[in-house]
Amino acid sequence: MLKEKTNIPNHIAIIMDGNGRWAKSRGLTRHQGHKEGKESAKEIVKTCAKLGVKNLTLFAFSTENWKRPKKEVDLLMDLLHNSLMSELKELKDNNIRLTTIGDISKIPFIVRTFLKKVCDDTKNNNLMTLTLALNYGSRDEIINSVKNIADKVKNNIISVEKIDESLINQHLYTRKLPDVDLMIRTSGEKRISNFLLWQSAYAELHFSEELWPDFKSEHLISAITDYQNRERRFGKTSEQLT
């Protein structure tokens, strides 16, 4: 149980790592690891919504994940498609809005079409925004943003003097999302791996030893409790905060 009910992170971002190792340690296929990982994702989404987290962003497929064997990529896309089909009703019933970040034009047509339908069908839900990062990479996102801004400067739509944090924010995939408060990575790895680099400038980082399929509500609660015990100074001194 979460002791402190206030000071819930407004935006949690999760790098769901360790499906492959979880499967290997049980003599299962990597795909079975991802399937079990999907069950963790489902539990964590529900728990976040229940705890009052307003934004949850899951790193489901990176720009680098295309380098995996084609069979694994295909099965991951199938899993995404099946999960969207089986969970649409659940998202609706629980008042959760689905959005995506990343270049989804590379996601297979049939999956992309259904993804758009789910985003559209849930766009007025307002309990929590669940964002799936798909074909997402932070550097890719920043490059796109710079290109778009440069284009606007070239065409005299904006002046160089207008370029500030807020303008850059408006050109990122995450333009409608707040900054990340808590970034969680599972499986004992201590890296950010090109995930929300700009948006996590002041995020608290929590590294869990659990492999993603083992990461359940109690581990999420530990991560939030850890977050609640941190002092977020945003560059100020402790004295200035009190």
Please, what is the minimum distance in Å from the beta carbon of residue 178 to ligand FPP? Answer: 21
Find the helix or strand (DSSP H, E) in which 76 lies. Answer: helix 70-93
Distance CA 24, CA 33 (A): 8
Contact with ligand FPP (CB under 6 A): which of 10, 29, 65, 169?
Answer: 65
Q: Dihedral of CA 84/43/133/74: which sign?
A: negative
Q: Is 46 in the site for ligand FPP (CB under 6 A)?
A: no
41 binds ligand FPP (CB under 6 A): yes
**Among the listed residues 9, 37, 102, 137, the single contact to ligand FPP using CB under 6 A:** 37
x/- mask, ligand FPP, residues 123-152, rule CB under 6 A, reads ---------x--------------------
For the segment 149-208, give every residue that binds ligand FPP (CB under 6 A). Answer: none
131 or 145, CB closer to ligand FPP?
131
d(CA 98, CA 119): 5
Q: In what order do the strands lie in the sheet with 55-62?
A: 96-101, 128-136, 55-62, 11-15, 182-185, 204-207
In the numeric block, which tokens belong to residue 235? 């560059």
Place of tokens 């229940």: 50
Give the nearer residue to ligand FPP in terms of CB position, either 78 or 179. 78
Among 9, 20, 102, 137, binds ligand FPP (CB under 6 A): 20
Q: How far is the CB of 155 from ligand FPP (least distance, A)?
A: 38
In 3D, which of 208, 188, 195 has the Cα closest to residue 142? 195
Q: How far is CA 46 from the centre of its chain?
A: 15
Binding stretches for ligand FPP (CB under 6 A): 16-21, 34, 37-38, 41, 58, 60, 65, 79-80, 83, 132, 212
